[in-house]
Structure 1
Amino acid sequence: MAARRPRVDSAAGAVAVMAAAARDLSPPAHIQLRPGDMPFWDAVIAERAKSEWTDADMAVAAGLARAMADSEMISGMSVGQRGTVKGKIKPKFVIASIGAVDKLARRIVTLRRALGLDNRAKNGEQRDVERRREIAKETESGHNPLADDGDDLLARPSTLQ
């Protein structure tokens, strides 16, 4: 049976997190990423705390970064300057590129799930997400849902005149 991770709110957990924060999260030496993959690598790695990444996870993350870069590259092949569609594209190429992008999109979703980066893993059950979203929208619109709690612990937005 594998040992459990220490709680992050314990002293041992805090020490482990601080030690992991100093880790270099570059792609593993045995995995080659192209220069165009690196922005996607950085985005994937930023989705988790440094202390959560294992060597095996980083290998999967490299595949995810590659798939994301490939999808962007293929999608961009038919786009000219200023976002316009290139004029002399053969229909067979367009159909093939749509199929390739679709396969890559499915691979991206699968790899994100494997890493626990999908919406449910990150944000919890949908009903909880919807409730948090509702509260956030109310707050963004200027209504503070905690304004009527009577404890005066939160600053209230004021309008400047």
Structure 2
Amino acid sequence: MAAKRTRSDSATAAVAAMQAAAAGPIKAPKFVHLRTGDKPFWDSIVRARTRESWTDNDLVLAGNLARCLADVERLQKEIDTEGDILTNGRGTPVINPRHNLLETLSRRSVTLSRTLQVHAHATQGDSRDQGKKATKQRQAEKVIEEQDDDDLIPRAMH
């Protein structure tokens, strides 16, 4: 028999969420090498899931994904500086070879994101439900705007 999961709307889940938030992002294990530029990506990746859901193997893959995403950003900056077309040693225009590496790393990042379940569908749900969430958000914003126009609410005068 499987262990019963805590309901996400329970007081226990709320306490666990607050404790996890207070602890900050998960630190990389000693056996996962992260470069300085990988850290922001690491923090973003490990915040995408609950703290208790990460296994050691997941953290290794998260390290790979963080390095991969940092390399994608670095390569894109280099391509932006060098341009899409370069001239080879014979004077022939050629596509910047960094594009091939960028494509490979981009595919790797998508695969790792799916494996770790940190991609948009896993963290945000179906895209058809996003419209519903956005509509609710717009309705809430409208209510707040209407409250700001309410002359019955006293405001501080300076």
TM-score by length of 2: 0.69
Alignment-derived partner of residue 65 in structure 1: 66
Contact 2:25 2:43 in 1 (8 A): no
Contact 1:23 1:50 in 2 (8 A): no
Alignment-derived partner of residue 148 in structure 2: 158
Q: CA deviation at 1:112?
A: 0.9
Kindly tell me the number of residue pairs found equivalent between the two proteins.
146
1:1-161 counterparts in 2 under 5 A? 3-9=3-9, 22=23, 25-80=26-81, 85=83, 90=88, 92=94, 94=96, 96-140=97-141, 143-144=142-143, 156-159=146-149
Contact 1:8 1:17 in 2 (8 A): no
Alignment-derived partner of residue 149 in structure 1: none
How many angstroms apart in 1 are the aligned matches of 2:147 and 2:49?
A: 32
Q: CA deviation at 1:137?
A: 3.7
How many angstroms apart in 1 are the aligned matches of 2:19 and 2:117?
A: 23
TM-score by length of 1: 0.68
AA at the equivalent of 1:117: V
Following TM superposition, the consecutive aligned residue runs of length 4 or more in structure 1 with deviations greater than 3 angstroms are 1-24, 84-93, 137-140
AA at the equivalent of 1:26: K
Distance 1:7 1:89, change over 3 A: farther
- What is the aligned-residue RMSD (CA, Å)? 3.5
Structure 1 alignment gaps of length 5 or more: 145-153
